[in-house]
Amino acid sequence: MRVVILAAAAMQIAAAARDPMAVEIRRGFVAAGSKTSEQPALREERDRREPSQGFMIGVALGAWSNAAAQLQYALEVPSGDGDDTAAIDLDCQEEGTAFKDLQARSQAAGLAAAQLVAAGQAEDAGALARLQLREAGPLPRCR
């Protein structure tokens, strides 16, 4: 069993190594960390070198993923003070901005949602469904 898992992981690593764009998307996704904006990771990258297109797409994917998760949490878990309207409005705005950045960067590269997720979030089984749902439009609360 362990040999099969190691072989599958090795095949995924080998496939990614053959696709420089996928490597850069993953690197950007990781660089986004837990931020809901792509700016911190892009500033840090620019201190070292000019960000590649793939890196910028990965950072945008990470920022959107974080912003979407933050929004979902805010919608599901009330703060307790009775009025979360302002916070949810801000989360909607951040998620919308992050999604527009992701769309612009991925469309410029001609990448579909499945390609983004395969490169940046392959270990997250629900990532593709969340991205496809978002492509259909914002959450009702954010319209």
For 17-21, 50-54, 98-102, 137-141, which range has the lowest pLDDT when averaged over its residues?
17-21
Residue 121 · residue 29 · CB < 8 Å? yes
- Please tell me the distance from the alpha carbon of residue 87 to that of residue 79, in angstroms, as a whole number: 10
Nearest in space to 75 (alpha carbons), one of 88, 94, 89: 88
In the chain, where the domains are located: 21-142
Q: Is the pLDDT of residue 5 over 70?
A: no
Q: Is the pLDDT of residue 11 over 90?
A: no
pLDDT at position 124: 87
Distances (CA, A) of 100 to 15, 22, 77, 81, 106: 29, 20, 26, 31, 10
Q: Is the pLDDT of residue 6 over 90?
A: no
Instruction: Kindly give, in sequence order, each residue whose CB lies less than 8 Å from that of residue 33, ignoring residues fewer than 6 positions away.
Output: 40, 41, 62
pLDDT at position 103: 96
Structure confidence by residue, pLDDT tens digits, 70-108: 999 999 988 777 788 999 999 999 999 999 999 999 999
Mean pLDDT over each residue of the chain, to the nearest integer: 88
Region 2-25 average pLDDT: 63
- Cα torsion through 34, 36, 39, 44, rounded to 10: 0
